[in-house]
């Protein structure tokens, strides 16, 4: 019985970029500092159904959020329409999944999902316990079976990608570590090259962006700067904590369908 609940205390580095000029209402009244300090007072237990986790099989993940004494934390702010955003990535970051566990009460969330292949995956629970600020808790897990070929994470030569008939160009105003910067996703129809102006709100904003360091150790906090926009530009703000390679996933919605655009950048 290998599959026991694993406690994480104070692991994930909390990296927030909730700039005052960001125009985000999500964290009103909470300072960046409050989030950072409080993260150490919160622990998460991740538990997976079954004795072994196998690829392409339904797996129920239970996440229990507790204070450092093991008492359940019961209240969570709704941020971007959800009480928990849950991200799963493969170790090589080629697989990305963004899902929303159901809140069952008493600090317990559950979600049923599948892992695509064998190998190591990292799960991130992105939460805002009421009064404690935004934070994330994470856990690596191993899915049994033969390892697929790992794809190297290489910075993109071009920051223009075509996904689901959309041509998306990412621009970053100054690619530097340690300072707040703006990311702009410009979205065109890949065929006609016409600007896309009918993006629909996704999770209450123009889009949702997740950024991880190459080793998946750091999960960056990213804020939309103009939540009400509908394209062709979708703007966000973040801070890269140090130089290195980062993977960025932008998620947007048009005609009721969400599309996900990945980019890899090297921050000098
Ligand atoms: Cu989410």
Phi, psi values for residue 51, rounded to 5°? -75, -35
Strands in the chain per DSSP E: 6-9, 13-15, 42-48, 59-67, 84-90, 96-99, 102-105, 108-113, 119-127, 135-143, 160-163, 166-172, 180-189, 208-213, 218-220, 223-224, 233-239, 244-254, 257-267
Q: What are residue 127's DSSP bridge partners?
A: 84, 135
How confident is the model over 145-175, as pLDDT tens digits?
999 888 899 999 999 999 999 999 999 998 9
State in Å: Cα 82 to ligand 1 middle.
6
Q: Following DSSP, what letter does each residue of 50-66 receive, concatenated?
A: SSS--TTS-EEEEEEEE
Query: Can you give the length of the chain in residues?
Result: 268
Q: How many CB atoms neighbour CB 102 within 10 A?
A: 11
How confident is the model over 2-55, as pLDDT tens digits?
444 444 333 333 333 333 333 333 333 333 333 456 889 999 999 999 999 999
How confident is the model over 104-148, as pLDDT tens digits?
999 999 999 999 999 999 999 999 999 999 999 999 999 999 998
H or E stretch at 1? none
State in Å: Cα 192 to ligand 1 middle.
31
Residue 95, burial from CB neighbour count under 10 angstroms (0-12, 13-18, 19+): middle
Q: Nearest to residue 117, comparing CAs of 53, 64, 202?
A: 53
How confident is the model over 224-268, as pLDDT tens digits?
998 889 999 999 999 999 999 999 999 999 999 999 999 999 999
- Structural domains for the chain: 6-143 (2.60.40.1930), 160-267 (2.60.40.10)
Output Rg (C-alpha) for the chain, integer angstroms.
Answer: 18
**Separation CA 211–CA 221 (nearest Å):** 8
State in Å: Cα 1 to ligand 1 middle.
32
State in Å: Cα 81 to ligand 1 middle.
8
State in Å: Cα 85 to ligand 1 middle.
4
């Amino acid at each position: 019985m290998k599959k026991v609940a694993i406690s994480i205390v104070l692991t994930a580095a909390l990296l927030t970029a909730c700039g005052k000029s960001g125009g985000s209402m999500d964290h009103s009244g909470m300072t960046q500092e409050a989030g950072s300090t409080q993260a150490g007072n919160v622990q998460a237990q991740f538990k997976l159904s079954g004795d072994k986790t196998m690829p392409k099989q339904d797996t129920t993940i239970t996440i229990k959020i507790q204070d450092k004494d093991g008492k359940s934390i019961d209240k969570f702010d709704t941020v971007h329409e959800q009480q928990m955003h849950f991200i799963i990535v493969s170790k090589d970051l080629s697989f990305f999944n963004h899902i929303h566990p159901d809140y069952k009460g008493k600090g317990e969330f559950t979600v049923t999902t599948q892992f695509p292949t064998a190998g190591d995956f990292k799960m991130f629970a992105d939460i805002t316990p009421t009064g404690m600020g935004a934070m994330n808790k994470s856990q690596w897990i191993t899915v049994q079976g033969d390892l697929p070929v790992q794809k190297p994470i290489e910075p993109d030569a071009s920051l223009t990608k075509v996904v689901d008939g959309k041509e998306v160009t990412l621009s970053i105003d100054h690619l530097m570590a340690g300072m707040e910067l703006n990311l702009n996703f410009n979205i065109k129809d890949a065929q006609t090259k016409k600007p896309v102006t009918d993006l629909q709100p996704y999770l209450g904003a123009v889009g949702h962006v997740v950024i991880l360091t190459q080793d998946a150790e750091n999960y960056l906090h990213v804020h939309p700067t103009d939540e009400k926009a509908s394209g062709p530009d979708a703007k966000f703000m973040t801070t890269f904590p140090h130089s290195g390679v980062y993977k960025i996933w932008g998620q947007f919605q048009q005609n009721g369908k969400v599309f996900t655009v990945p980019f890899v950048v090297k921050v000098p």
